[in-house]
Structure 1
Amino acid sequence: MSKTLNIVGGGMAGSEAAWQAAEAGCDVVLHEMRPKVGTFAHRTGDFAEMVCSNSFRSDDDERNAVGLLHWEMRRAGGLVMAMADAHALPAGGALAVDRDPFAAAVTARLRAHPRISFVEGEVSALPDSGSWIFATGPLTSPALGAALQAETGAEALAFFDAIAPIVHAETIDMDIAWEQSRYDKGETEAERKAYINCPMDKAQYEAFIDALLAAEKTEFHEGETAGYFDGCLPIEVMAERGRETLRFGPMKPIGLTNAHDPLNKPYAVVQLRRDNALGTLYNIVGFQTKMKYGAQTSVFRMIPGLQNARFARLGGIHRNTFLNSPTLLDNQMRLRSRPHVRFAGQVTGVEGYVESAAMGLLAGRLAAAELLGREAGPPPPETAMGALIHHITGGAEAKTFQPMNVNFGLFPPIDAKGGRRGRKDRYKAYTDRAKLAFTDWLAGVPGAAPDAIAEAAAGS
């Protein structure tokens, strides 16, 4: 059997899969349609380009599920996590990434690998032979989407994903706004001041909600329905669920003290997070939107501190396709009807950059094991990666399957012997158990090693 693995898609999942399989000893051909065929969201032809946010979310690997996923990927020699660490920005307890240098570093490492070659252009059909991983992400091309629909005999599933706007830092009025991470979280002053906060009193909040609800929105094409992923709801959709929804969501004021008026508690707060290392760009946290461009500028300039804001990028909305994985994929992430084809990343029904890259890591390792003649199963469900793959390939209810972030609700319950545990102790028990199980699993599955990725990070 040929030891060549073909990977379609150079996003988070495809990049990680290519690195893992190549480090395991397989020859890899990475197919990427960009820049020959573009998308509305991507700006470059770099691999692992981040388009929606620059955040990998919490980096707490002891009491947070996504932080645990970070730990597992680092332990597995993950390229994405190593480059994220090398290009991290201050973000309190979160891991935020300087997105352009990050993507450039991933691209450079992949192009320098002697076992990886590249083909530019679109793959629009499912192959009949060979070993393949499709990691085409939420913007799977229409032609490939049609081929998947024809193969599975099912209607393509889709939801709509929204992108938050980015503001030029120099246009934020710091006489109104102030720098502070929620609850002053962070070990350094930079981390404790990783966010810019714009306060609102009740009258300003009410006026903002009125304008938000009245603003002109992007309309869907005939026959399309909006099945949004709850973790990336447009702010208008949240506001439509109740006038106070935003104040208990992305605009919650808790844990923040207005440096200009410390005795006056804000009614609501809009947070902005640094989007690049220079600190010249900030994205508005949680402000994904489907408002039309003209409406965005007028509504967002109602936010105190952003009255003179200039936008490096306005928000947007796009169709996000994914497989009904519980019915279509086996526990090796293989298409049941074509076992030589695997899927990875967001197209499998995981949500988020980290989850997408993690599924690429698994697909690359599992495909490499098969090509090298070594038996390997998925990680145990007690691990973060194992919990995700179990969920998408059989643990979820197929009729109501929707994209999912990693969370402890996907893990087998912790034995409660010895009395009830507090939430923090329970989460620590989850992560302790997961780390042991993942370390044992990792020893038997070929792929990248932590020492190899440390060398890659040093050269980024």
Structure 2
Amino acid sequence: MTERITIIGGGLAGCEAAWQAAKLGVPVRLYEMKPERYSEAHHLPGLSELVCSNSLRGDSLENAVGLLKEELRRLSSLFMEGAEETKVPAGGALAVDRELFSSYITKKIESHPLIEIERSEVTKIPEEGIVVVASGPLTSAGLADEISALVGEYLYFYDAIAPIVTADSLDFEKVFAMSRYGKGDGNEYLNCPFSEEEYNTFVGEILQAEKVEPKGFEKIVHFEGCMPIEEMASRGPETLRFGPMKPVGLPDPKTGREPHAVVQLRQENRDATLFNLVGFQTKLTWPEQRRIFRTIPGLEGAEFVRLGSMHRNTFINAPRLLDGTCQLKKDGRIFFAGQITGVEGYVESASSGFLAGINAARLALGLPLTVPPPETAIGALVCHITNAEAAHFQPMNVNYGLFPALSGKVKKKEKRDHLSRRALAALESWQSSLSEGALAVD
């Protein structure tokens, strides 16, 4: 009988790893601590809960994350299947209804005959057998201590959650619907326009507002791709206007001119009853958030169903600890997957789970392990986290800067097209190689 794999964590990476291993005929026991215990950021009892945002970011091959999603589609990723089944309008991005997405993944995992779900917290890594640690960036304290003892080094950074408001509490006399440059159907986002005076007052309030302070022994290291708005505001009065409050490509229909700044709201659920404040991750106290965010034009009467919060994200020093197969160098029976490896983002986390899952299954079946070509998005990402400079390692989203250089001269405007076409060709070749030994990826 094929050895059973233990997977710790029922998030995006853990579920993807379990699904891929089970598809290859390997039995899996998946541990998820909810609903026995919840992290400070989770509240749904289901698997694969999305926390920070409902957006899976750009869906075009012009963006590396769009390419990564296309690769996962072609590899029959459960994550992408669920995203396509539960998506909501989001212009040029792919966004999902969070509750429907979690429910979809949960039902798929629960219905697979080779996957057993154990709803309990794990604080010890099994001493025998193949294990995939996919406990996520909010790993519980007990398991964190166990991992820390195992790997010898442990790093962390802080991430932030953006607020969500109800649609019927917005003032549509001020808010206008429009996607930047008319992408999608042209009305995918709601926009709150600021005059110069309103913007300057808003920034001033953010700078003076009370913030939630970390514990005295904790050093904050923010990830640049998810910077709290107050941190951005502290870098200069125009920083927010060139960041999440950028008005470019969003002329106000009432004036025909671009506002001085805007706050964009993105549809949070399929019924369009909830919207989140795009890019408004924050560590302001909840009373300050209510006070200041209700000065945003159109949000004066906003009902907040979720306020922003700060939570600790943990990750290992992957360049020192992991091989390109996602195996722990010091103990090849243990794999790591997801954001705990230092990949940043939902799509990246799922891709890491995909790779860990098929390699854990191959190990169980006595077959050679595999590393995706660095020309692919999934390969470029794993190559980065396992080969980056260990002394200054920080989480990373997938981006075209991680890919090997193209051979020959290519016009700048054509570079991404060449990179994506090369990637998909390399993916096809790699996917064919996975068929050896009846391990075809459907």
TM-score (norm 2): 0.97
1:28 aligns with 2:28: yes
Matched with 1:165 is: 163
Matched with 2:412 is: 422
List aligned pairs for 1:272-287, cutoff 5 A: 272-287=265-280
Residue type of the alignment partner of 2:326: M
Matched with 1:81 is: 80
| Unaligned segments of structure 1, at least 5 residues | 451-460
- Residues 376 and 444 in structure 1, CA contact (< 8 A), matched pair in contact too: no
Matched with 2:357 is: 364
1:258 aligns with 2:257: no
Matched with 2:181 is: 183
Matched with 1:296 is: 289
Identity level (%): 49
Q: Deviations over 1:48-93 (max 9, x none)?
A: 11111000000112x2100000011001100110110111111111
Q: Deviations over 1:211-260 (max 9, x none)?
A: 00001000010111110100001000010111101000000000111122
- Residues 5 and 130 in structure 2, CA contact (< 8 A), matched pair in contact too: yes
Matched residue SS, 1:139: coil
Which of 198, 213, 216 aligns to 1:219? It is 213
| Unaligned segments of structure 2, at least 5 residues | none
Q: Deviations over 1:381-416 (max 9, x none)?
A: 00000001111112x100110000000111001113
1:438 aligns with 2:438: no
- Residues 130 and 340 in structure 1, CA contact (< 8 A), matched pair in contact too: yes
- Distance in 2 between the 1:23 and 1:153 partners? 34
Q: Count the aligned residue pairs.
A: 439
**Structure 1: 4+ residue segments shifted above 3 A:** 446-450
Matched with 2:394 is: 402
Q: Deviations over 1:166-220 (max 9, x none)?
A: 000001111001001100001xx3xx21100000010000000000000100001
Note the C-alpha offset of 1:448: 7.3
1:39 aligns with 2:33: no
Matched with 1:206 is: 200
- Residues 372 and 378 in structure 2, CA contact (< 8 A), matched pair in contact too: yes
- Distance in 1 between the 2:130 and 2:341 partners? 18
- Distance in 2 between the 1:100 and 1:385 partners? 27
Matched residue SS, 2:14: helix
Residue type of the alignment partner of 2:422: R
Note the C-alpha offset of 1:265: 2.5
Structure 1 residues 40 and 448, CA, compared in 2 at 3 Å: closer, same or farther?
farther
- Distance in 1 between the 2:392 and 2:239 partners? 25
TM-score (norm 1): 0.94
- Distance in 2 between the 1:230 and 1:7 partners? 30
Note the C-alpha offset of 1:157: 0.6
Note the C-alpha offset of 1:120: 1.3
Structure 1 residues 6 and 106, CA, compared in 2 at 3 Å: closer, same or farther?
same
Note the C-alpha offset of 1:449: 4.1
- Residues 20 and 448 in structure 1, CA contact (< 8 A), matched pair in contact too: no
Note the C-alpha offset of 1:151: 1.6
Matched with 2:56 is: 56
Farther-moved stretch of structure 1 (39-48 vs 51-60): 39-48
Q: Deviations over 1:22-49 (max 9, x none)?
A: 0111101101111101111111221111
- Distance in 2 between the 1:15 and 1:261 partners? 49
- Residues 376 and 445 in structure 1, CA contact (< 8 A), matched pair in contact too: no
- Distance in 1 between the 2:63 and 2:406 partners? 15
- Distance in 1 between the 2:336 and 2:319 partners? 12
- Distance in 2 between the 1:41 and 1:2 partners? 37
Across the aligned residues of Structure 1 and Structure 2, the Cα RMSD in angstroms comes to 1.2
Residue type of the alignment partner of 1:414: L
Matched residue SS, 2:137: helix
- Distance in 2 between the 1:162 and 1:228 partners? 9
Which of 178, 181, 189 aligns to 1:195? It is 189
Matched with 2:67 is: 68
Which of 361, 382, 386 aligns to 2:379? It is 386
- Distance in 1 between the 2:227 and 2:220 partners? 10
Matched with 2:147 is: 148
1:228 aligns with 2:222: yes
Matched with 1:354 is: 347
Which of 298, 321, 343 aligns to 2:336? It is 343
- Distance in 2 between the 1:54 and 1:257 partners? 26
